[in-house]
Amino acid sequence: MCLAVPALVEEVLGDSRARVRLGGVLQDISTVLVEDLRKGDYVIVHVGFALSRLDRDEAQKTLDLMREAAGFEGGA
């Protein structure tokens, strides 16, 4: 299964690259698909590419749901 996740842009590096924070991890990604990114923007990241910009509130809702799901222990 593949998952696209919200990430916070920490630094725009140039050459269509940016450094983002995914949880506590910094990762360099391609920004070739999203124009005019700035530090503080949220993007949806999938396999190392920013797919689209995301509203801060929507990003936070998604991250909260992911945290909740990670703590879920299903059972019969």
**Full-prediction pTM beyond 0.75?**
yes
Residue linked to tokens 């590096």: 13
Residue found under tokens 């050459």: 15
pLDDT in tens, the chain (76 residues): 567 889 999 999 989 999 999 888 999 999 999 999 999 999 999 999 999 999 999 999 988 888 888 776 554 4
The position carrying tokens 């190392």 is 48
Quote the radius of gyration of the chain (alpha carbons, Å). 13
Burial of 6 (0-12, 13-18, 19+ CB in 10 A): buried
In the beta sheet, which residues pair with residue 41?
none
Q: CB–CB of 53/43 below 8 Å?
A: yes
Fold classification of 5-70 is: SH3 type barrels. (2.30.30)
